[in-house]
Amino acid sequence: MRIPIVYENEDILIINKPAKLLVHPTNRREKNTLVNWLIDKYPKIKEVGENPLRPGIVHRLDKDTSGLMVIAKNNKSFFYLKEQFKERKLNKKYLALVIGQLKEKSGVINKAIGRSPKKGTKQTVSPIVPRKEAITEYRVIKEYQNYSLVEAIPKTGRMHQIRVHMSSIGHPIAGDEQYKFKRQPCPKDLNRHFLHASYLKIQLPNGEIKKFEVELPNDLEKILKNINQKSNLKMQDVT
């Protein structure tokens, strides 16, 4: 596996995770995961954390989500980062292409999320299930004929949070098979959901504050160029 390392010191590792890569093995015991790569490259990481299936992992990205992830290289940094996430001190931003054009060009989605009773891997905002607080800020960056490019800032860390929240306001993420609506458009050649963790601001265990940013990967950049070229409308920047 070729996994770009964005930053590294003795305590943490920040990577640019490729799409189509599981973070850790599931019950099926997959071998081609980020954790397998970590153990191969950093054997001592086996001893880090609270779950032997997820050594060093303090947060996750969905398999089809690309972008920035921070990983703990020792237990001191693991529990430090875990507390940072718990206290919501880390600042993360995502880029998402969503279906349609949003009436409100910026806003806050405050809808609690819980596990769907129909499908265990799916989340829902339905009040019929036990739910936990979930908050996502968003702003529209650019508009296309049938889509909008949105910057999403999760203030909590629920499973599938951005995907669930955008779908809940009527604008599912393009290419998202799990939370899509019936007969919604999908850009040609998009073979995963259009979601990328583009920005991370973090205070390191030594107290230093660092900011990291990565551009959209090539597959998503091509999608934007393609839908702009095929649109009868000019791409509109939204401020």
- List active site positions: 62
DSSP letter for 129, please. Answer: S
Non-local (6+) Cβ contacts of 45 within 8 A are 38, 39, 55, 56, 71, 73
- Residue type at 217? P
Strand segments (E) across 144-193: 147-154
Non-local (6+) Cβ contacts of 55 within 8 A are 35, 38, 39, 45, 46, 47, 48, 49
- Backbone dihedral region for residue 37 (phi beyond 0: left; psi -120 to 50: alpha; all else: beta): alpha
- 225 vs 115: CA distance, rounded Å: 36
- Residue type at 184? Q
